[in-house]
C-alpha cells in the first residue's frame, strides 16, 4: 500500500506521521522543536522524525514526504522566508535542505494551506469544490480551496487570512502591521481581554454561568464572525471549517457566529455552514500527506 511521510513543523512541536492513501495515520510521533537552535538543528530534527516514523515500514511503500511549515513560505521555490516562531529561519531553502537528506521527493506547503487540504481531502470538506479553512490558535492562519483548486497566489503565499486588517490604527500584530484580524481574534487577544491564563479557563467559566467570562466569549464570537463574514463575501465557499486550539470550544462559539452571519452577511451568503474541523489537531499533518498523494 502506498504511504506518505508527513512532517508538521510547529513553533513548539515537530510532528511526524506515516499516512496511507485514505488519510489514516499508521504511526505518529512528536518531539519538542529546538526553536532557538537555528535552522540546521531544526532541519535535522525533521529528518530524524521522518526516518523514525517510517523505520518499521517497507521503503518501497513510501512514495513521498509532505512538509507543513509556518509561513510566509515561497512554496514555488521551497524557501522559508521568515518563520516568526522559529529562530533564524530567514530565507532558508527548506525544501532543498530536506531533499538532500531524504531519499523520497519532498513536498512543502504553508501550514494553513496544508490543513485546508487535509480537511478538504480527508476531513469535513470532502467532495466540496470551494471552502475556507481557518485555524484559530496563537495566531490565525488558513487556506482557501476555490473551484476545486488550492488557491496559491504569487509565491504560494495566498490565504494569510489572519493578516487582513480590520481596524485602522489598531492593535499591533506579530507581523508588524497594525489592526490585523489575528491581533483581535486569535487566542492571545481573547485571553488578554479576559485577563485569563488560558482560553480554556474563560470558556469553562462562561459555561458555569460567569457573566463576565460570557461577555468575553461574546466579544470573541463577534471578532471571529466579523472576519468569517468577510471571507464568505470574498471567496463564496460552500463551507467554512474552523480548527486550531479555540475550536475546542466550538460549541460555545458556533451559535453566536451563526447568529452574526445571519444578521450581517449579505442574504445570499447566510446559509453557508460553519463547522468544526474533523481531523482536530491533525489537519496539517494529514494535509501534508495529501500533498504527496496529489502529486504522484
Nearest Cα residue to 274 out of 219, 229, 212, 235: 229
Q: Cell numbers of 214, please? A: 460570557
Instruction: Measure the CA–CA gap between 291 and 163, rounded to whole angstroms.
Output: 25
Instruction: Measure the CA–CA gap between 182 and 189, rounded to whole angstroms.
Output: 8
Residue 72 or 125 having the CB closest to Zn ion? 72
102, 63 Cβ separation under 8 angstroms: no
Number of residues that bind Zn ion (CB under 5 A): 5
Where do the DSSP E strands lie in 70-115? 73-74, 79-80, 106-110
Left if phi > 0, otherwise alpha if psi is -120 to 50, otherwise beta: which for 212?
A: alpha
CB of 184 to Zn ion, least distance (A): 10
Q: Using CB under 5 A, which of the segments 115-123, 140-148, 161-169, 247-255 binds Zn ion?
A: 161-169
Residue 157 or 200 having the CB closest to Zn ion? 157
CB of 202 to Zn ion, least distance (A): 23
88-127 residues in contact with Zn ion (CB under 5 A) are none
CB of 84 to Zn ion, least distance (A): 10
Q: Using CB under 5 A, which of the segments 101-109, 166-174, 225-233, 239-247 binds Zn ion?
A: 166-174
Task: Assess 163 for contact with Zn ion (CB under 5 A).
Answer: yes
CB of 86 to Zn ion, least distance (A): 17
Residue 15 or 163 having the CB closest to Zn ion? 163
Q: Cell numbers of 250, please? A: 466550538
Longest dimension (CA), the chain: 59
Gyration radius of the chain over CA positions:
19
CB of 233 to Zn ion, least distance (A): 20
Instruction: Measure the CA–CA gap between 162 and 136, rounded to whole angstroms.
Output: 9
Q: Using CB under 5 A, which of the segments 91-99, 162-170, 233-241, 260-268 binds Zn ion?
A: 162-170
| Residue 293 DSSP SS3 | helix
Residue 177 or 262 having the CB closest to Zn ion? 177
Q: At what angle do helices 250-264 and 211-235 cross, to 10 degrees?
A: 50
Q: Using CB under 5 A, which of the segments 145-153, 155-163, 253-261, 272-280 binds Zn ion?
A: 155-163
173-202 residues in contact with Zn ion (CB under 5 A) are 173, 175, 177, 180
Q: Cell numbers of 135, please? A: 485555524
Residue 177 or 294 having the CB closest to Zn ion? 177
Per-residue 3-state assignment (H helix, E strand, C coil) for 169-202: CCCECCCCCECEHHHHHCHHHHHHHHCCCCHHHH
Task: Assess 160 for contact with Zn ion (CB under 5 A).
Answer: no
Containing 40, the helix (H) or strand (E) segment is: helix 39-53
Q: Using CB under 5 A, which of the segments 43-51, 66-74, 159-167, 248-256 binds Zn ion?
A: 159-167
Residue 138 or 282 having the CB closest to Zn ion? 138
Residue 135 or 252 having the CB closest to Zn ion? 135
Binding site for Zn ion (CB under 5 A): 163, 173, 175, 177, 180
Amino acid at each position: 500500500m502506498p504511504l506518505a511521510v508527513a512532517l508538521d513543523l510547529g513553533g513548539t512541536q515537530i510532528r511526524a506521521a506515516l499516512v496511507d492513501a485514505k488519510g489514516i495515520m499508521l504511526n505518529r510521533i512528536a518531539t519538542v522543536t529546538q526553536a532557538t537552535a537555528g535552522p540546521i538543528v531544526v532541519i535535522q530534527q525533521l529528518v530524524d522524525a521522518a526516518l523514525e516514523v517510517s523505520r518499521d515500514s517497507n521503503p518501497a511503500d513510501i512514495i513521498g514526504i509532505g512538509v507543513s511549515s509556518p509561513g510566509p513560505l515561497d512554496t514555488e521555490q521551497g524557501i522559508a522566508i521568515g518563520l516568526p516562531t522559529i529562530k533564524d529561519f530567514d530565507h532558508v531553502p527548506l525544501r532543498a535542505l530536506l531533499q538532500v537528506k531524504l531519499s523520497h521527493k519532498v513536498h512543502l506547503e504553508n501550514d494553513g494551506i496544508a490543513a485546508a487540504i487535509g480537511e478538504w481531502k480527508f476531513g469535513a470538506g470532502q467532495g466540496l469544490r470551494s471552502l475556507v479553512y481557518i485555524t484559530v490558535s496563537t495566531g490565525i492562519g488558513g487556506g482557501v480551496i476555490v473551484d476545486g483548486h488550492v488557491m496559491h497566489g504569487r509565491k504560494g503565499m495566498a490565504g494569510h487570512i489572519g493578516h487582513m486588517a480590520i481596524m485602522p490604527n489598531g492593535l499591533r500584530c506579530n507581523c508588524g502591521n497594525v489592526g490585523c484580524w489575528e491581533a483581535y481574534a486569535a487566542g492571545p487577544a481573547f485571553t488578554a481581554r479576559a485577563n485569563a491564563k488560558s482560553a480554556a479557563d474563560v470558556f469553562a467559566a462562561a459555561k458555569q454561568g460567569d457573566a463576565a467570562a460570557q461577555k468575553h466569549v461574546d466579544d470573541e464570537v463577534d471578532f471571529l464572525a466579523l472576519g468569517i463574514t468577510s471571507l464568505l463575501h470574498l471567496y463564496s465557499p460552500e463551507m467554512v471549517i474552523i480548527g486550531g486550539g479555540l475550536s475546542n470550544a466550538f460549541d460555545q462559539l458556533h451559535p453566536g457566529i451563526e447568529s452574526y452571519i445571519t444578521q450581517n452577511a449579505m442574504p445570499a451568503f447566510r446559509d453557508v455552514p460553519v463547522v468544526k474541523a474533523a481531523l482536530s489537531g491533525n489537519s496539517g499533518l494529514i494535509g501534508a500527506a495529501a500533498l504527496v498523494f496529489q502529486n504522484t
